[in-house]
């Protein structure tokens, strides 16, 4: 009905992994945003979803046909410390089978308490849910694997944080919500059958090519490491800071999930931290590759009993995978960097060239996105070299490097255009859109989403939205937004 085709493969996992729970009714459901292109991609009837019945569904007051709501159980290392968690405010309705044959989770976030809510209220505020929608759509348009928001519905009820805030439910679409923490949960229960069932399920759902591998669980670990390396390299290349890279927020499918205090960096600085809860900078921009590796080490520990019956041999094999992680991520990063600099060929000195540019950016507090945006225009870098002697030196080395490849300047600029965005969700613009939305004015949000939908369109991009904030954003803070 209305295009819904829900299945429930996750529910076939052992009972350890889930708890049945219904969304809690809310006072006055109202649709704030419906992601129409995503709805169409999922094969859903857009007009039906845009109705009051759709709003009731997106707020959790009604269920789509075939839904079997449940909360998922998982554990996680939060800021380095192991904790038993689970969906405290998210409820999985099922897996939609798209017209293209994909299987994706449909989850309500902020739909009320679950058996895993601990002291939480199970609810979410409109601001952070719209923020998740904005940043997820931006990531998607950038071509970075991500969960996406199908809708944000207001509940008509307040949520109580530091002050009362309008409540909302976000409908989240993801390849799945399997996390490193899901494996940690099985391992912590010392339930070998459950762990094996989870690993087999993961292979079947996300890594079907591994089904016949000689050592399928080691191969799974390596394949997950590869997807994480590709993902985090993409984050680094666009200046995205996740903010809470706890193991429970690290997707096994290799998508960006759990948008909390995330933000894009303006001024280039590896120490950049925006999250108010990350006082020590554990999840700073420059730490993200090392943290991804740390998280994978936790996954490796959880998988050990499956990797080899001999513990020492298992440790050795898993350690070898981890040891290759830095090179993996470095290779993805370098490939992306070459493209951003308009380099079609490979030379040993390319990494040095890229690092020297970053050093200059750091020293001069240059805007990360707009520095790379310069390479997307034919005369941009030369103009900058004309007014900045230090950049001028680097520019000469870059010109000499370009002269050693066959492509001309037009091709160089075109490659740079495809590889560096003209617009990212700048923090001050996101805040502006959220503040207006809270007052009932959705125009800035709509304008921002339109620009973010075409980030590589250097000609048509909305210039006001590409501007960094006046005076930098050194004091910007994001809050977990629970």
The one segment of 241-249, 315-323, 386-394, 402-410 that binds ligand AMP by CB under 6 A = 241-249
Among 96, 126, 249, 419, binds ligand AMP (CB under 6 A): 249
Among 237, 241, 244, 267, binds ligand AMP (CB under 6 A): 244
The footprint of ligand AMP on this chain (CB under 6 A) covers a number of residues equal to: 18
Pick out residues in 258-297 that bind ligand AMP (CB under 6 A). 258, 260
> Hey, which residues are catalytic here?
248
In whole angstroms, the minimum distance from the beta carbon of 120 to Mg ion comes to 12
Nearer to ligand AMP, 94 or 122 (CB): 122
The one segment of 126-134, 244-252, 263-271, 285-293 that binds ligand AMP by CB under 6 A = 244-252
DSSP state of 160: E
In whole angstroms, the minimum distance from the beta carbon of 21 to ligand AMP comes to 12
Cβ contact 137:35 at 8 Å: yes
Nearer to ligand AMP, 90 or 151 (CB): 90
Task: Spell out the alpha helix ranges (H) of 36-174.
Answer: 36-41, 46-49, 52-59, 126-142
- Binding site partner of 315, from ligand AMP, Mg ion, none, Cβ cut-off 5-8 A by kind: none
Query: Which residues touch 33 (CB under 8 Å, ≥6 apart)?
Result: 130, 133, 149, 151, 152, 442, 445
Give the binding site for Mg ion (CB under 5 A). Answer: 249, 258
Alpha-carbon dihedral sign for residues 343, 348, 354, 356: negative
Structure tokens at 306: 């499956």
First to last CA, the chain: 34
Alpha-carbon gap, residue 238 to 55, rounded angstroms: 34
Structure tokens at 277: 């809860």
- Binding site partner of 206, from Mg ion, ligand AMP, none, Cβ cut-off 5-8 A by kind: none
Q: Are strands 6-7 and 90-97 parallel, antiparallel or unpaired?
A: antiparallel
In whole angstroms, the minimum distance from the beta carbon of 70 to ligand AMP comes to 14
Q: Are strands 263-264 and 90-97 parallel, antiparallel or unpaired?
A: unpaired
- Binding site partner of 85, from Mg ion, ligand AMP, none, Cβ cut-off 5-8 A by kind: ligand AMP
- Binding site partner of 61, from ligand AMP, Mg ion, none, Cβ cut-off 5-8 A by kind: none
Alpha-carbon gap, residue 415 to 423, rounded angstroms: 16
Cβ contact 147:257 at 8 Å: yes
Nearer to ligand AMP, 39 or 139 (CB): 139
Pick out residues in 67-96 that bind ligand AMP (CB under 6 A). 85-90
Nearer to Mg ion, 116 or 375 (CB): 116
- Binding site partner of 184, from ligand AMP, Mg ion, none, Cβ cut-off 5-8 A by kind: none
Nearer to ligand AMP, 54 or 260 (CB): 260
Residue located via tokens 């809510």:
117
In whole angstroms, the minimum distance from the beta carbon of 77 to Mg ion comes to 12
Alpha-carbon gap, residue 393 to 384, rounded angstroms: 11
In whole angstroms, the minimum distance from the beta carbon of 90 to ligand AMP comes to 6
Q: Is 257 in the site for ligand AMP (CB under 6 A)?
A: no
Q: What x/- string results for residues 111 through 140 when contact with ligand AMP is judged by CB under 6 A?
A: ------x--xxxx-----------------
User: Which of 98, 101, 126, 91 minimizes the C-alpha distance to 38?
Assistant: 98
Nearer to Mg ion, 454 or 480 (CB): 480
Pick out residues in 361-420 that bind ligand AMP (CB under 6 A). none
Nearer to ligand AMP, 107 or 427 (CB): 107
Q: What x/- string results for residues 21 through 40 when contact with ligand AMP is judged by CB under 6 A?
A: --------------------
In whole angstroms, the minimum distance from the beta carbon of 66 to ligand AMP comes to 24
A 10 A CB-CB count for 380 gives 16
In whole angstroms, the minimum distance from the beta carbon of 258 to ligand AMP comes to 5
User: Which of 103, 104, 117, 100 minimizes the C-alpha distance to 150?
Assistant: 104
CA 59 to chain centre: 23
Residue 222 phi, psi dihedral angles, 5° rounding: -65, -40
Cβ contact 59:51 at 8 Å: no
Rounded to 5°, angle at Cα 421 from 415 and 426: 165
In whole angstroms, the minimum distance from the beta carbon of 350 to ligand AMP comes to 37
Alpha-carbon gap, residue 459 to 306, rounded angstroms: 52
Nearer to ligand AMP, 84 or 213 (CB): 84
DSSP state of 376: T
Residue located via tokens 């590889």:
419
Q: Which residues bind ligand AMP (CB under 6 A)?
A: 85-90, 117, 120-123, 244, 248-249, 258, 260, 480, 482
């Amino acid at each position: 009905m209305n295009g819904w085709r829900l299945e429930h493969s996750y529910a076939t996992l052992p009972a350890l992994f889930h708890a049945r729970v219904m969304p809690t009714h809310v006072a006055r459901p109202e649709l704030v945003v419906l992601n129409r292109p995503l709805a169409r991609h999922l094969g859903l009837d857009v007009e039906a979803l845009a109705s009051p019945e759709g709003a009731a569904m997106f707020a959790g007051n009604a269920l789509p046909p075939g839904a079997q709501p449940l909360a998922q159980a998982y554990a996680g290392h939060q800021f380095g410390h192991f904790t038993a968690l689970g969906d405290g405010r998210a409820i999985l309705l099922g897996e939609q089978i798209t017209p293209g044959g994909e299987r994706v989770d449909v989850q309500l976030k902020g739909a009320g308490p679950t058996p895993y809510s601990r002291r939480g209220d199970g609810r979410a505020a409109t601001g952070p849910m719209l923020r998740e929608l904005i940043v997820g759509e931006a990531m998607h348009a950038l071509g970075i694997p991500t969960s996406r928001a199908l809708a944000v519905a207001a509940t008509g009820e307040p949520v109580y944080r530091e002050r009362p805030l309008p409540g909302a439910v976000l409908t989240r679409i993801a390849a799945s919500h399997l996390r490193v923490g899901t494996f940690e949960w099985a391992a912590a229960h010392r339930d070998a059958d459950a762990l094996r069932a989870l690993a087999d399920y993961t292979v079947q759902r996300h890594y079907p090519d591994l089904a016949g591998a000689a050592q399928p669980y080691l191969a799974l670990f390596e394949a997950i490491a590869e997807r994480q390396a590709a993902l985090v390299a993409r984050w680094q290349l666009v200046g995205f800071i996740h903010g809470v890279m706890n193991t429970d927020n690290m997707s096994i499918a290799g998508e960006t999930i759990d948008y909390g205090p995330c933000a894009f960096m303006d001024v280039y600085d590896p120490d950049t931290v925006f999250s108010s809860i990350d006082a020590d900078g554990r999840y700073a921009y420059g730490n993200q590759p090392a943290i991804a590796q740390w998280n994978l080490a936790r996954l490796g520990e959880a998988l050990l009993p499956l990797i080899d019956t001999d513990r020492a041999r298992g440790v050795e094999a898993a350690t070898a995978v981890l040891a290759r992680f830095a090179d993996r991520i470095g290779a993805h990063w370098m490939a992306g960097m070459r493209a951003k600099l308009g380099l079609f060929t490979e030379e040993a000195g390319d990494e040095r060239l890229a690092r020297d540019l970053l050093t200059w950016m750091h020293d001069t507090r240059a805007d990360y996105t707009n520095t790379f945006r310069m390479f997307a225009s034919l005369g941009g870098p030369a103009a900058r070299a004309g007014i900045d002697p230090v950049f001028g030196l680097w520019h000469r080395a870059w010109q000499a490097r370009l002269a050693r490849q066959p492509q001309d300047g037009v091709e160089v600029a075109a490659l740079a255009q495809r590889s560096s965005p003209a617009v990212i969700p700048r923090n001050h613009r996101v805040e502006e859109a959220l503040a207006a939305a809270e007052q009932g004015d959705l125009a800035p949000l709509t304008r921002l989403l339109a620009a973010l939908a075409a980030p590589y369109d250097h000609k048509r991009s909305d210039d006001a939205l590409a501007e960094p904030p006046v005076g930098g954003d050194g004091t910007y803070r994001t809050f977990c937004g629970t």
